Amino acid sequence: METREMVNIDGIMVPIEGERNLLELIRKADIELPTFCYHSHLSTFGACRLCICEIEGMGMQTTCTIKPAPGMVVRTNTNEVRQIRKVNLELLLANHDISCPSCARSNNCKLQDLARRLGVTKVRFKKTVKEAPIDNHSWSLIHDPNKCVLCGDCVRVCKEMQSVGAIDFVNRGARTIVGPAFSKSLKDVECVYCGQCVSVCPVGALVPKPETEEVWKAIHNPEKYVVAQLAPAVRVALGEGFGMEPGAVSTGQIVAALKRMGFDQVYDTSFAADLTVFEEATEFIQRKLNNERLPQFTSCCPSWVKFAEQYYPELLPNLSSCKSPQQMFGSVAREVLPKLLNIKPENLVVVSIMPCTAKKFEAKREEFIHDGLADVDHVLTTEGLGRMIHETGLNFAKLKPESFDQPLGFKTGAGVLFGGTGGVTEAVLRFAYEKITGETLIESEIKQTRSLEGIRTLEMKLGSLDLRLGIAHTLSNARLICDRVLAGKEQYDLIEVMACPGGCIAGGGQPVSFDPDVRQKRIQGIYNVDKQMQLRKSQDNPYVKELYATTLGEIGGHKAHELLHTHYGGRKRITDQVINIRNTNEPQIEVYVCVGTNCYMRGAQDLLKKLSKYVTENKLSDIVGFEGQEDMVDVKATFCFERCERGPVMRVNGTILEHATFEKAKALLDSEIQRIGAQMNKVKV
């Protein structure tokens, strides 16, 4: 390699080979510079100022924002560089609520790690007093702005990876914080609870909301029978908290730990994933043969479902009506376990152990609560279960493996594949191949589905059917593929969407890791589990077949639909947000017009203007019948009635009008004015 293609890093000549920035080149030289705000999959930000180096002729520079150039001379460890890094870290510490012993991220905090690594033993700067309120209203996440170091990682991952933008920088200067719009809770904005903000947060400003105490309470209640279901991706990640390598499979130890902790039965969510394949693949084949509601989107990921409800309500009929495996398991457990175990239904407690923070939100959805009983009572994240095991003092690595309980603990390799991107598609294809062709699938692996590329398109032929399949992970890629479908630029038969990069293996409830290779290691662990299974196709699961024979009836039949299917509707992105147009004092009539995206596209803005003009310029006393009632009507803009596909939508007092035109709106308003006027006339008389 010629010298002009080299960079001198601390006296070592390092070749430039397509690195995007100087930081990557320095890391190639086996120098791990400290960083807070750098993630290879996000835009460079340069906020933390910790990756600074001295570049000859350029002075101090953040290496994440500088492209390497031939002939550069870089010094990473001069006295001045070291002192500046320490000062920058002290400033971050002064702006941070240091409650380390009780912090959920105490054992995996970048701030702690770098303070030790850089030798910062004293903070010389006056502590910033913020005392901002902690947001713990969401079912899935806790946001503590007092611990935030303003690195911006969560802001960028929400915008760039998920295209949601539920959080951003608020205020300016010393008053700057990170949070949702309008000072709202994450519960009340367009947050989809994917938890990727948790995955990139270097401190404890964003963490999964724990449910450990509720689970302990159930375990210690002698009247309760507590069962657990274990998601596929948990088994390839939990061990990381006990010194194991990412991707190491610890299923047997997890089952053993759960039983030692007091769970009465331990089952496998992969059983319900096999069940999902039966229903979803059958639904897909029927849609394809009838050429209706295509493409069919998968519905396993609750973050994706909420994203679709908020941004693409017109595509909701295309979502599979199947519940997610978590909710299918809960529904089936509620149906069969009380009889099987001879317990009262109200004494059965179903606990999910999931890699996903959005599963907490999903379990609390009203669609999945019947007669006061939720299909799933509590959801523990992988990280949350790890803390519970540490609390008990169990030596996880030395536990003798135990097996799942039956019948809901038996699964095939296809069910385990749900833990990674492309896995649902592969599992469905294993089923569909035999169903459509009538032939036995010998080689189960369909490697075209296996990739960490953001959007993949597969074309294949099954029997006489030509199939075009799409696979997307991260919601920014989901947005791209949805826009292409709606614009008629792409045609698919089936589209799998997972919100997290790589799928559930990188869910927001998994152990936080800043290793860029961790996703590949975890998903390889999923593939290894599938490969070791004797049965690798969902249709070969004997206990699922038995469940249909004894409880569900035929696939897609009445009972199966009752227990395994659901429906979704448009959802508002921001709750309780109103824009006053007239600011009338004590109005008798309030007119609300939705100006959300879908209603806006259907003419809501024009409707709002015409109504405001009508109310302002016309003499309402003529309608009422007496003078002095010009301010009886107030007009307001709001953000959703959750009827996005029927916009524009408006409300006049208690009456909602769908597909509103100005003529319809005026007629409804005049009618309400006359009704209120008649009441006022009676009072006046």
**Strand order across the 589-594 sheet:** 578-580, 633-638, 589-594, 650-652, 655-657
How much of the chain is in helix, strand and coil states, percent to nearest 5? Answer: 45, 15, 40
What CA–CA distance (Å, rounded) separates 512 from 516?
A: 12
Give the tokens for residue 297: 């989107």
Contact 611, 665 (CB under 8 A): yes
Contact 224, 387 (CB under 8 A): no
H or E stretch at 352: strand 348-354
Residue 517 CB contacts under 8 Å (≥ 6 apart), including other chains: 246
Compute CA distances 315 → 351, 458, 675, whole Å: 31, 21, 39
3-state secondary structure 618-640: CCHHHHHCCCCCCCCEEEEEECC
Give the tokens for residue 147: 């611990």
Contact 343, 225 (CB under 8 A): yes
Report helix, strand or coil for 546: helix
What CA–CA distance (Å, rounded) separates 313 from 27?
A: 45
Q: Partners of 178 in the beta sheet? A: 169
H or E stretch at 73: strand 73-75
Contact 394, 270 (CB under 8 A): no
DSSP 211: -
Active site residues: 280, 283, 300, 320, 359, 362, 367, 504
The neighbour count for residue 541, using CB atoms within 10 Å, is 24
Give the distance, in angstroms, between the CA of residue 181 and the centroid of all CA atoms in the same chain: 19
